[in-house]
Structure formats: structure tokens, C-alpha cells
Amino acid sequence: MAMNTLEDLLAHELADLYSAETQVADALPKLANAARSQELRTAFEEHLEETLGQIRRLEEIAHELGLTMDEGTCRAMEGLLTEADEVMNARIGEDVVDASLVAKAQRVEHYEIAAYGTAASFARQLRHGHVAELLEQSLDEEKNADAMLTRIAESGANERATARGTSEGTTFEADGGLK
């Protein structure tokens, strides 16, 4: 696509986010399924609901700005979710499963925080006030999701991971392994 103006750049960022969010929506059920604690499972399930709302917001924005959002795949999210897949396919001890899932999921949230922050700032600069508001709503949800993951990690997942250091579970299907 032509990339000459901040308007073009915003369109690019939005299409990239749309690709990223649709990938996240596909991944979250797998993460929820892999989670060992009910707390983490619920957090992933609730963030899936938020993610579907974020996709709808991006569709509303596309409609408002007359964009198609069909620019291709967000390679960064593809990479982050590949890492999450690697963890889910690896032989990981029962006690460190949730800590490993949180570690991967927080990378996803931080990427989204960066992307929504940038896009909202472009939209403000371009005087697309309503678009900026919608992006900031999603930005807030991503920040909350990140904080929730930190809370879950620090209130249990990391502690369990250190409590019984010798367990050698084969928690996930043993068809992979960390490369």
C-alpha cells in the first residue's frame, strides 16, 4: 500500500491490529484449555470475550474511515503465538505450566498495548476523535489483561513453579519440545 501520510500509516496500523486480534481470538481457547488453574483459565476465557469486542471495534473503525483491513498477516503476533504453541507442545512440569503460559501471554498483551497506543496517538493527531476513543477503550482492556496476568502469576503460578522443584511431569503432549 502507499505509505505517504500519517493517515496511510494509521490505516496500516489498524489492518495490522485486525490481523493480530483475529489471531489472538483463535489462540485464546487453546491457552484456556492448557491452563492448570481455574483462575488463569477464566482470565483467558474472559479476555477472549474482550478480544471479540476489540475485533468489532476495529470493524467499526474500518467502516468509519472507509478501510478494508485486508492487508495481510501480523508477523509479530504470528511469532508470539508460535512461541505460545511451542510451550503448549513442550514437555513441561505440571507446576510450571501456568507460569509458562503467563510468560507467553504477557508478551502478546505488551505487543497489543504498543500497537493500540500508537494507533490511538495517530488517530488523535489526525483529529479522528471517535476512532481514538475506541482504540483507547481497547488499550485499557489490554492493560487490564496484562495487570491481571501479573496478579495471577504473583499470587500463585510462580510460587507453585518454585514450590516443588523436582517434579518431572509430562503435562503437555510430548510431540514437541522447546527448540
Q: Which residues bind Fe ion (CB under 5 A)?
A: 16, 51, 54, 74, 76, 109, 112, 142, 145
Per-residue H/E/C for the chain: CCCCCHHHHHHHHHHHHHHHHHHHHHHHHHHHHHCCCHHHHHHHHHHHHHHHHHHHHHHHHHHHHCCCCCCCCCHHHHHHHHHHHHHHHCCCCHHHHHHHHHHHHHHHHHHHHHHHHHHHHHHHHCCCHHHHHHHHHHHHHHHHHHHHHHHHHHHHHHHHHHHCCCCCCCCCCCCCCCC
Please say which residue, 95 or 142, places its beta carbon nearer to Fe ion.
Answer: 142
Q: Report the residue number, 98 or 109, with the smaller CB distance to Fe ion.
A: 109
Q: Which is nearer to Zn ion, 7 or 146 (CB)?
A: 7
Q: How far is the CB of 137 from Zn ion (least distance, A)?
A: 19
Q: How far is the CB of 131 from Zn ion (least distance, A)?
A: 8
Contact set for Zn ion, span 6-65 (CB under 5 A): 7
- Closest separation in Å from C-beta 7 to Zn ion: 5
Question: Interface residues with Zn ion (CB under 5 A)?
Answer: 7
